[in-house]
Amino acid sequence: MPRCVCVYCAASQRVDERYRKLAEQVGERLARAGYELIYGGGDVGFMGALAHSVHRHGGRLVGVSGNAKASPTDWPMR
């Protein structure tokens, strides 16, 4: 059974650089430890930084969107 972590965080582009870097570090650690990230599907802000970092370090992602019209092909990463 895969180990998963669910994270919902800011998707705003107006984020402090030190917190964006922290999100990237968390993403790297999650990926290297073998955790799958379940997140809000966003591509910007903390959410995007975290997801991009997990992806960049070989981790797995599951994006969850609250938009009923969204489909997996609309997500920035699969």
pLDDT of res. 12: 83
CATH of 4-74, one of 3.90.1150.10, 1.10.150.530, 3.40.50.450, 3.30.160.60: 3.40.50.450
The residues spanned by each domain of the chain are: 4-74
φ/ψ of residue 36, rounded to 5: -90, 135
- Within the chain, strands assigned E span 4-7, 36-39, 60-63
Percent of the chain with pLDDT over 90: 54
Query: What is the pLDDT confidence band of residue 78, given thresholds at 50, 70 and 90?
Result: very low
pLDDT digits (tens, 9 = 90+) for 42-60: 888 889 999 999 999 999 9
Cα dihedral angle (57, 27, 67, 2), rounded to 10 degrees? Answer: 80
22-to-27, 34, 44 alpha-carbon distances in Å: 9, 18, 14
Show the tokens assigned to 13.
């582009």
Q: What is the pTM of this model?
A: 0.79
pLDDT of res. 1: 67
pLDDT digits (tens, 9 = 90+) for 1-17: 679 999 988 878 888 89
